[in-house]
Chains A and B, each alone.
Chain A
Amino acid sequence: MNARPPAIELYRVTKRFGTVRAVDALDLAVQTGEFFTLLGPSGCGKTTVLRLIAGLERPDEGEIRIAGRPVAFPDRGVFVPAAKRRVGMVFQNFALWPHMTVAENVAFGLQARGVPLQEREILVRQALSLLRLEDLGERFPHEVSGGQQQRVALARALVTQPQVLLMDEPLSNLDANLRAAMRTELKRLHQESGATTVYVTHDQTEALTLSDRIAVMRNGRVVQVGTPEEVYRQPATLFVATFVASPNLDLLQGVVQAEPRPGIRAGPFFLPGRASAPPGLRVVVAVRPEGWRLTPDGVPLVVEQVQFTGPDLLVVGRADAHVFQIRVPGDLQVRPGSRLSVVPDTLRINVFDASTEVAMDFVPDDSRGVPDASVGGVRP
């Protein structure tokens, strides 16, 4: 028996705008207390999902439940308006009411719910101090900085102690330094408030660093749900792999082979191992910059470019028609024109069916690939 229902459930939810299916028969369940991220490129429907949960959009089909209670179920005519859902939301452009002070902005939700004045003042003070805004209560939104506006928006969303906190790209309006600081702040707030959080972003770094679980979305559908590690290490499709790692991912066109030795031929490499696919199947092998091994008997590369990223170097190297991006330790002496010799680390690659772009199993015989030339055989 399940003791508690998930905090948020979506069953076959569809939302159309005109003829476009912004959300297409989507299923989703967010557990209580979880920091859950919807990740995807712009236009994938992630913001619409958030607005459906908030009650700002009405689904055309399907059912949405919050804490086990149906809040939108068009077939039965059920729709609980946003005002009655007890959710908090942080909007992309903050949506602070310009004619109210910071304190009035924060107090608004309490006032709307009829919380008595004294209690209201205490709660507002608590929320302001939680967000380190104690001294700014009397200012108007346009009189505080962008980062502070962001915190006001958070205080306003949290003050009513919502069951669910929704955030729509809350960091996209901040500059890079502030964004990093606010990430830490958001993590702290989530730990302190314990509110179930649904977070929308197109920034994979935000998603990976903040989330308990991530749902990667594309064209109104969820492509994969998983922990940050799962989404990063075992992407379900080529799209997830490229989107989560973008832009530094090398894709090698390859083919599965059984004879003379089972494995995958991909570009200048041969990856020994057993693939869950018939020989001859075309595949795509994805290698991340950290998925390469420097080895004397690998494929020789000429270094074309070296990018210093701080802890390490990103080397762009060429072998004939292939260009690879390789992460190497920061103390390695390389310059454009230097020669390196590399093979893929077979434990850190992902293999996808080239036609369906779905991930497939690949059990390597060895932890590293070898240059294709050393195996021989007919080139695909």
Chain B
Amino acid sequence: MVRASVLRVHVNRLRARGTLSVWLAVAVSLGLLGILVVLPFLQLLDATVTWSEADLRLDPGLEPGTKTLAHWKRTLTGPISRNAFYQPLANSLLTSLTSAALALLLGTTLAWLVARTDLPGTRSLQILAVIPFIMPSWTIALAWLAAFRTDAAGGGSLFHYLTGASPPDWLAYGPIPIVVVLALHYFPFAFLLLVPAFRSVDASLEEAAELTGAPLLLIWRRVILFLVLPAVLSAFVLTFSRTLGAFATPYLLGAPIRYYTLATILYAHLSTGAVAQGYVVAIVLLLISAAAVYLGQRLLGARRGYVTVGGRGVRPRQVRLGRWRPAVAALTWSFVLWVVATPLLLLLWESLMKYPDDYSLRNLTLHFWAGASQPPLADGEPGILRNRSILAAAGNSLRLAVSVSCLTALAGLFVAQLIVRCRATLAGLLLDQLTFLPYLIPSIALGAVYLAASLRPWGPVPSLYGTFLVLVLVCVIKYLPFSVRATTAALLQVSRELQEAAAVAGAPLLFQLRRVVLPLLAPSIVSGGLLAFASAMRELSLIILLATPAYRTLTMATFRYTEQGLPQFADAIILFLVLLTVLGELAARRLERLTRPGAGYSNGGTPPGSR
């Protein structure tokens, strides 16, 4: 009797504290994330130590289903390990480290110029400079091919047209073009990370140093450099993890001469049936990249402390470029314009060429855009605007992007709410870390993880390979970290007090959400959705292992046409994608800026300067 009433009191207390439903929601989300994030990875791991039917040709003596380390041994120490693992590993490290360093050099210089000098037009420069990063990652690679393609890949290049000679192989393919193209694609990433760092160097720290009478160089060496160094280091590590996981560029510019990196050898293994070996490579890639991102985040985390403190109002003074200003401006502007415009113009021109070797005006045609089927030109395929298979691919891309963006935004909102509600508890932390996990995994490796998981049925769930659902799931899981982070930040910014004020004013929960919380969150939700949309539209490495012909997307179509020697189609499609993704991202960024403090009404209820 006594015990029953004590129990009732406890349950009542829990219920009165209103935490019962929250914990239920947390448990459900943790379970779902476990199934979608942790389980696939375990299945991948399991597949690398299981002897399958397909492996019988390697060793018919082993019973399928046996647990064995043979795949690991074969990959890491076998006779083919040199060509199939160590050489690609070395290539990967070489290209990703050099391209990250180059990207960092470009990004840091540009960030400093934009953030700390009186360079003219920094505002437009800031938008323009980001475009190479927003474009599908292999846009510049396609342009490079247009310029330097050799006969090895279908022939016909600007270089050949102008010089009459075939470009040398080292210029067309291999480490040099890969490094350059990756650096040009990823320097805006470093730039984006570093501009806030340069901006938020607290001016008073600098002024305090100046008041001691120290010369400018000493201030730079002892104060400014020291303050931004962690940011620069972390930018390097994060850029490295990106270039390491890059797939499309190294594939397009390396595969024709059999120059493989970890990401491309992984693809090669899987497409030649050496599945388990591909999985082993995926795990290695995943570990290196996760270690790098983790390190980068640690460095960034250490920095964040003073960046936010310094980031308030105190604007660092600008360095006057003086008589160097025109020269520096001309150089910077022409570099950025060149990086943005050259690839796009080259692709546009090539997409209008009847034969890819002839840049004269009479070779121009609209066939690849809008022409009807005209065999034998382009193997009889009509222009992209009338091409059934391309339009079907566009339909797939759109369906994927729309479902992914809606789901990501919704799931992000849900998880972010829970994380904010359960902050500083173990469950909240776990939720946060679990959603963040896919961020550590390079896209192509995550694709491999999902491939391994979707090939096998699991409990009541049938094999999902070849379904549209698996494409949606892998994209949502990959983009969720961004959505959750952005929404959490927005939720924290829409200070809790605004909702509480509505509660005190007598508004029921739904009324609070509809009238106060949603209107304030809407810009970030929409911008998050737009970002996911743009990412899904240009997604390739994440889904290339998973998509079957039935669900071919536009991005995969560009790949196929490049391999088929019909670059004009690839160019036309990529230009369309560039347009769509750049517009989407720019719109998202605009919205995001709206929700930042100091812009319009969006300071979360805190009057400016009152804190």
Taking Cβ atoms with an 8 Å cutoff, the residues of A that contact B are 18, 54-56, 58, 60-61, 72-79, 81-89, 91-99, 108-109, 112-113, 140-142, 146, 149, 156-157, 160, 166, 173
Contact = CB atoms under 8 A, between A and B. Distances in A.
Interface in B7-57: 9, 11-13, 15-18
Nearest to A85: B504
Interface in B570-611: 600-608, 610-611
Which of B495, B516, B605, B608 gathers most chain A CB within 10 Å?
B605
A81 B505 contact: no
B17 A93 contact: no
A54 B511 CA distance: 18
Given A142-B603, A173-B611, A54 B504 contact: yes
Given A81-B503, A84-B506, A173-B610, A99 B495 contact: no
A141 B33 CA distance: 41
B520 A112 contact: no
B500 interface: yes
Nearest to A150: B607
28 contacts: A54-B500, A54-B504, A58-B18, A61-B13, A75-B12, A77-B11, A82-B504, A83-B509, A84-B506, A85-B504, A89-B500, A91-B500, A93-B605, A93-B606, A93-B611, A95-B497, A95-B500, A96-B605, A97-B516, A98-B602, A108-B502, A109-B506, A109-B507, A112-B506, A113-B506, A141-B605, A156-B505, A160-B505
Contacts of B503: 55-56, 81-83
B309 interface: no
Interface in B172-196: none
A95 B605 contact: yes
B348 interface: no
Given A93-B611, A95-B497, A74 B602 contact: no
A94 B16 contact: no
B519 interface: yes
A58 B12 CA distance: 12
Contact of B601 (A18, A85, A98): A98
Nearest to B501: A95
Contacts of B364: none
A197 to B, nearest CB: 14
A149 B504 contact: no
B362 to A, nearest CB: 59
A94 B505 contact: no
Contacts of B520: 97-99
B215 interface: no
B498 interface: yes
Closest 8 pairs between A and B when the two form their complex, measured CB to CB: A109-B505, A77-B12, A112-B507, A95-B497, A98-B601, A82-B503, A74-B16, A95-B501
A76 B13 CA distance: 8
Which of A79, A97, A108 gathers most chain B CB within 10 Å?
A97
A89 B507 CA distance: 13
A41 to B, nearest CB: 20
Contacts of A75: 9, 12-13
B508 A83 contact: yes
B504 A97 contact: no
A91 B501 CA distance: 8
Contacts of A83: 503-509, 512
A13 B604 CA distance: 32
Given A78-B16, A82-B504, A87-B504, A108 B605 contact: no
Contacts of A142: 600-601, 603, 607-608
Given A54-B504, A109-B506, A112-B506, A94 B13 contact: no
Contacts of A95: 495, 497-498, 500-501, 605
A157 B502 CA distance: 10
A86 B500 CA distance: 14
Contacts of B603: 98, 142
A177 to B, nearest CB: 15
A149 B507 CA distance: 21
B607 A108 contact: no
A75 B5 CA distance: 10
Given A95-B497, A98-B603, A142-B601, 12 more contacts: A54-B504, A74-B16, A77-B16, A78-B16, A82-B504, A89-B500, A98-B605, A99-B520, A108-B502, A112-B502, A113-B506, A156-B501
Contacts of B82: none
A89 B601 CA distance: 22
A342 B18 CA distance: 61
Which of B506, B520, B601 gathers most chain A CB within 10 Å?
B506
B531 to A, nearest CB: 22
B508 A112 contact: yes
Contact of A146 (B424, B512, B607): B607
B560 interface: no
Interface in B458-513: 495, 497-498, 500-509, 511-512
B15 A77 contact: yes
B422 to A, nearest CB: 12
Interface in B514-570: 515-516, 519-520
Contact of B13 (A74, A82, A173): A74
A112 B501 contact: no
B14 to A, nearest CB: 9
B359 to A, nearest CB: 54
B16 A99 contact: no
Nearest to A168: B497
A293 to B, nearest CB: 45
Contact of A97 (B511, B605, B610, B611): B605
A99 B505 CA distance: 16
Nearest to A96: B605
A173 B606 CA distance: 10
A58 B17 contact: yes
